[in-house]
Amino acid sequence: MRFENGATLILETSWILHHDDSAGDTHLWLYGTQAGAHWPANKIIGTNYRTKQYRDITLPFEPGMEAHAAECVAFADAVAHGKPSPVPAEQSLDVIAILDGLYRAAASGREVTLDR
């Protein structure tokens, strides 16, 4: 995926894969021009070639519930107590539009543009 600001997104996913995964079944790597980040390890990794410094920073992790489970509990709490949804419907609609665009692009073999 390409974004208006020039950023790109490469999405590789498999919900069932034969591998040992002691950290859980969900991982996210985010790469930028100055560093990368890994979740759920809460690590930031980068190299400054000018100063010849390598950064490998582990951010503090607050103990508690696994992130997806906490999100489900927050949603159930919102429904049970008449609170606003922790994830606004507009955000969910954006995600659905992106996923639909990915499927349409794969089926057609062509780039699909999403207009807001």
Distance from C-alpha of 11 to C-alpha of 29, rounded to nearest angstrom: 10
Domain holding 32, by residue range, is 27-59
pTM: predicted TM-score of the whole model, two decimal places: 0.51
Residue 104 has a pLDDT of 92
> Could you tell me if residue 15 is inside a domain?
no
- Classify residue 97: in a domain, yes or no: yes
Question: In this structure, is residue 68 part of a structural domain?
Answer: yes
Question: What tokens does 21 get?
Answer: 């995964």
Tens of pLDDT, residues 16-65: 666 566 656 667 788 888 888 888 788 899 988 888 888 888 887 667 77
Do 73 and 54 share a domain, yes or no?
no
Q: Which backbone phi and psi does 113 adopt, to 5 degrees?
A: -100, 130
Higher pLDDT, 45 or 8: 45
Number of domains in the chain: 2
Same domain, yes or no, for 55 and 69? no
> Which is nearest to 31 in space by CA: 64, 8, 14?
8
Domain check: are 75 and 107 in the same one?
A: yes
92-111: pLDDT as tens digits: 898 899 889 989 988 999 88
Based on the fold, state whether residues 73 and 40 are members of the same structural domain: no
Determine, yes or no, domain membership for 96. Answer: yes
